[in-house]
Amino acid sequence: MPVTVIRIKAAAKIWPPLNNQSRESEDRHHPGTIRRAQGQRAQRTARNLYQLRVAPPFGGNPAREAGSGPHPPVRSLAMKLKRNPEDFIVTEINSREPTTGSFALYRLSKRSIGTLEALQIAQRSWNVAPKSVDHAGLKDRHADTQQLITIRNGPKARFEQELFLLEYLGQTPTPIEAADIVGNEFEIVLRSLPIDAATEIESRAAKVGTLGYPNYFDQQRFGSLGPSLEFVAAKWCQKDYERATWLALAEYNSHDDAEEREQKQLLRDNWGEWIECKQLLNRSHRRSVVTYLCDHPDKFRKAFALINEDLRGIYLSAFQSAVWNRMLGITLDDAAPDGPVAERIAIGDASLPFGSSPNVTAEMQLQLPSARCKGLDEKTRALCDAALQPYGMTLPDMKLSFPRDRWFSRAQRNCLIRPDNLTAATSDDEDYPGRQKVSLSFSLPRGCYATMLVKSLTGDTEGDRDKNED
């Protein structure tokens, strides 16, 4: 099958402001504990009483459970990642080519914006139905990326905005899907390195190229996880629809812009007073859900189903990925010859072993967990149950009753990944005189994270390098 290699050009640097201020203390309203009372005073009293609850609520923080941490991190090498737009370039290798059919095929080029955000803007501008738009996967918002998307009966036109560009390529008979992606090529520059750090990265690159590194889902997968460290999909599986709705619509998230933070705060402050919420909120998807609750104040099951279908798919992927990460972590700890691995890495809600073992190879795979997986052997089921234990669940609990328009994946995933054609070249850093830069080039299969490779080379097991830009 012919392969189309998609490349992107360097673009002007545009970085959205980041708000790293923690607001965890004000985000711990459990909607189920605040009973809708008659009159403002009763409601305010219930809310204030809830604020006095000792954190962490709702079963605790799974990352703090016994056996999860803390552990001494790998020695970190100071560096700057994504200093310039051209410092993190992703080239998608895609097998889809334009032919004929009812689906318009586009190339989406973007930077500093998520895939869904960009597509929603184009969809509204072109007045096309959300269900007619398909993508094969979500690309990192903190990188210059390109990917193919399709729109059923989409316009044969170009759409350009400040942060992204849609280019019409032709027609295709079927919507794009994940199977069309062969892999991704990466060109990454690590900056502001002392000479000894650059030398160590080159040395680690030789080892990683041979032995591989743990194939964890990295932090980008868990962008929907708020300060409560509760997964929307976990509450969805447990049929706690009110909590799931609250987490999806009201919980603070570090990626929120100023308007989104304000709208979520209004909803948190007035949760349960739906008529007042509707009057305060701007027109939005969130307000549409609240409008339904004005007429059906206790029908959270249906209210949750009104949340955007793609967003609910993201919530499912995040939770399943977190459980799979824990499965891999348990596997690496059990396979270590001298007991649990001392080096740990913080991803999502967990502290995970970050090292290799001769007993775990790149050829080994683990099942992505869910109750949909039939015929699992006793060992695999026990591993799934152990990974779900911090969430108070077992494998049979990991299923959806309603709505059933999204499903957990039944795929398998490699435990370790060996990058193809990995090279690391050191040179003088023009942005930081007297320092060195290391230019990395490599390719990875679909679904693997380049940032995990960077962490394995630099020893960065704690910080989120996506937020370490100047």
Please report, for residues 241, 287, 451, the alpha-carbon distance to residue 282 in angstroms, rounded to integers and kept in the order given: 23, 7, 36
Q: Taking the model in full, what pTM does it have?
A: 0.78
pLDDT bucket at 52, cuts 50 / 70 / 90: very low
pLDDT at 193: 95
Sequence length of the chain is: 470
Q: Are 266 and 254 in contact (CB under 8 A)?
A: no
pLDDT at 59: 34
Q: Are 443 and 421 in contact (CB under 8 A)?
A: yes
Q: Which two tokens stand for residue 34?
A: 């605040």
Please report, for residues 126, 441, 466, the alpha-carbon distance to residue 431 in angstroms, rounded to integers and kept in the order given: 41, 20, 19
d(CA 87, CA 440): 10
Q: What angle separates helix 258-269 from helix 285-295, to the nearest 10 degrees?
A: 10
The mean per-residue pLDDT over the stretch 95-121 comes to 94
Q: Which two tokens stand for residue 329?
A: 């972590």
Q: Which two tokens stand for residue 357?
A: 């073992």
Please give the residue that has the higher pLDDT: either 153 or 22.
153
pLDDT digit string, tens, across residues 202-240: 999 999 998 899 999 999 899 999 999 999 999 999 999
Residue 462 has pLDDT above 90, yes or no: no
96 dihedral zone (left: phi>0; alpha: psi -120 to 50; beta): beta
pLDDT bucket at 182, cuts 50 / 70 / 90: very high
pLDDT bucket at 137, cuts 50 / 70 / 90: confident
Sorted by where each begins, the domain ranges of the chain are: 97-175, 183-223+311-467
Contacts of 211 (CB under 8 A, 6+ apart): 356, 416, 418
User: What percentage of residues in the chain have a pLDDT greater than 90?
Assistant: 68
| Least confident interval from 65-74, 283-292, 416-425 | 65-74
Residue 443 has pLDDT above 80, yes or no: yes
The mean per-residue pLDDT over the stretch 110-136 comes to 92
d(CA 260, CA 253): 9
pLDDT at 78: 66
SS3 category, 444: strand
pLDDT at 22: 35
Please give the residue that has the higher pLDDT: either 352 or 37.
352
pLDDT at 37: 38
pLDDT at 141: 80
Using the Cα atoms of residue 140, residue 143, residue 147 and residue 150 in order, give the sign of their dihedral. positive
Most confident of 348-352, 355-359, 456-460: 348-352
pLDDT bucket at 341, cuts 50 / 70 / 90: confident
pLDDT at 1: 43
Straight-line distance from the first to the last Cα atom of the chain, in angstroms, rounded to the nearest whole number: 43
Beta strands in 130-174 (DSSP E): 133-135, 145-152, 159-160, 164-172
Q: Which two tokens stand for residue 139?
A: 């690309």
Which CATH architecture is the domain 97-175 placed in?
Answer: 2-Layer Sandwich (3.30)
Residue 339 has pLDDT above 50, yes or no: yes
pLDDT at 77: 54
The mean per-residue pLDDT over the stretch 359-379 comes to 94
Contacts of 145 (CB under 8 A, 6+ apart): 8, 90, 92, 109, 110, 111, 139
pLDDT at 460: 83
Residue 13 has pLDDT above 80, yes or no: no
pLDDT digit string, tens, across residues 388-419: 999 999 999 999 999 988 899 999 999 999 99
**Backbone phi, psi, residue 182, to 5°:** -85, -40
Of residues 188, 186, 190, 189, the one with CA closest to residue 78 = 190
What's the number of CA atoms in the CB half-sphere (13 Å) around residue 302?
A: 11
pLDDT digit string, tens, across residues 250-299: 999 988 999 999 999 999 999 999 999 999 999 999 999 999 999 999 99
**Backbone phi, psi, residue 20, to 5°:** -100, 5
Q: Which CATH number fits domain 183-223+311-467: 3.70.10.10, 3.30.1330.40, 3.90.1150.10, 3.30.2350.20?
A: 3.30.2350.20
pLDDT at 355: 82
pLDDT at 338: 84
pLDDT at 53: 29
Of residues 397, 368, 362, 398, the one with CA closest to residue 380 = 368
Q: Are 439 and 427 in contact (CB under 8 A)?
A: yes
pLDDT at 23: 35
Please report, for residues 50, 104, 427, the alpha-carbon distance to residue 32 in angstroms, rounded to integers and kept in the order given: 11, 45, 57
